[in-house]
A and B are shown apart, each in its own frame.
Chain A
């Protein structure tokens, strides 16, 4: 189990109240809360003003590495064998462009997948204490860490915003 923290969990059946709740939390200046959704929801990204994902950087670096290694592989093997074929120079770049291009795509794609896993923090072998199987089906969750003293107020406002179920987790 991860290090547990006390907090209030709201479970929403529909997206709109969840977005409304997120907006309200932002307005009230609450920095630390977590949204759990069964599907990717772009609006949440916008409301939380997350910085742009770094996956693009992984893709770019992967692609450049791929291109470099494509040229390196072809040039090195040609030099190593040293056979003149088809009357072409030993290092004949036009032919190597094809390999370099394929390697760019391959490494770019692998870089993207790696970046994706890095960013969504997979693989992960433990679940958050507040995790509910419903979050992998058709419900949205909003986890707000707070102490037992604040809990009743937070619970009430989540209910008023349309949470289907609200509960306090002692952690």
Chain B
């Protein structure tokens, strides 16, 4: 028989009130879904689907970068920002939604992949839709699977500590601590398992995101190729993930009053990472650009010329070069910029917005063949809809696992 249960504290005590934020996010989601449906079913299916693809890549990338950030954090034996790491891990709440969003790409295939109607000569065995959809789907299942196993071992000791001797928890919490062996043993085991899993997460991420870059971005212009493009894509993705983490951290810190859990030296450290990954992304861009520019081969250079010389794309390219790479790197050199919440959040927002434009610039010029710039209310609303879905998924994650939220109980 179990001892009479200790009066359980309400679990959600540590979570800030989010009702207004939720309704705001629901409005965004509904507006976005409506705009997408109006676009896809009538007004402009091409614009709706290309924006959908850009946003799928952008937001899934951010969510995945959260887990990769945590894995990188563990692999380097870091201790500088435990609360920040938890916030990053919470972004995994988006991954199931992201998988559903991937499946929906099925309906937009004829607007996205030019090689469906006119076959890519000589590349049919790789560029055919059933094979592409199957391999990308399976890869995403693998990547999200590894990410969730990783998350499970992160959550397990904390869940166990929370529920030890407090009766039987239910549902998700019961799943998290089934077969519990006692705190110290479980901690050591999680530590050991996570050490290997972190490597698996990082390697799977690199492989799967390379595949996604080749299949969902490079194949939109099937005659073009660049070997480094995969690495460029996942590094840039991690960079924008860090920027998103910076913005989230500062918003959470302010709204949940977590200044002691998320001290400003955390931004300093995150800022250093952002600086490094901004440089790496810019360098990977330049490494491809230089070789393509120098070789001047028709099948390679068209992709670059289309984006850097033809209007309206050329303007966007300059914005990305200065606003995404050179500008943030120069700004982040400064210690004061990284250390102060206000300036740091501005730089992070700059990176976030410009990296969205960058993803847009990778996808859309391959698909859009008119003179006008397809950037209007459909694009804005669909993006807002994705942001709403992302925010709601993350909030749902924290609502189900409130004990994991960085609050007064956890160390900074």
Contact = CB atoms under 8 A, between A and B. Distances in A.
Interface string A76-105: 000000000011000000110110000000
Interface string B150-172: 00000000000000000000000
B107 interface: no
B293 interface: yes
B377 interface: no
Interface in A23-47: none
Contacts of A97: 286, 290
B294 A95 contact: yes
A144 to B, nearest CB: 34
A94 B304 CA distance: 13
B196 interface: no
B296 interface: yes
Nearest to B295: A86
A13 B228 CA distance: 56
Contacts of A86: 294, 296
B133 interface: no
B296 A87 contact: yes
A156 to B, nearest CB: 41
Interface string B283-311: 00010011001101000000000000000
A57 B294 CA distance: 36
Interface in B259-298: 286, 289-290, 293-294, 296
Contacts of B286: 97
B325 to A, nearest CB: 12
A86 B286 CA distance: 19
A95 B289 CA distance: 10
Given A94-B294, A98-B290, 10 more contacts: A86-B294, A86-B296, A87-B296, A94-B289, A94-B290, A94-B293, A95-B290, A95-B294, A97-B286, A97-B290
12 contacts: A86-B294, A86-B296, A87-B296, A94-B289, A94-B290, A94-B293, A94-B294, A95-B290, A95-B294, A97-B286, A97-B290, A98-B290
Interface of B: 286, 289-290, 293-294, 296
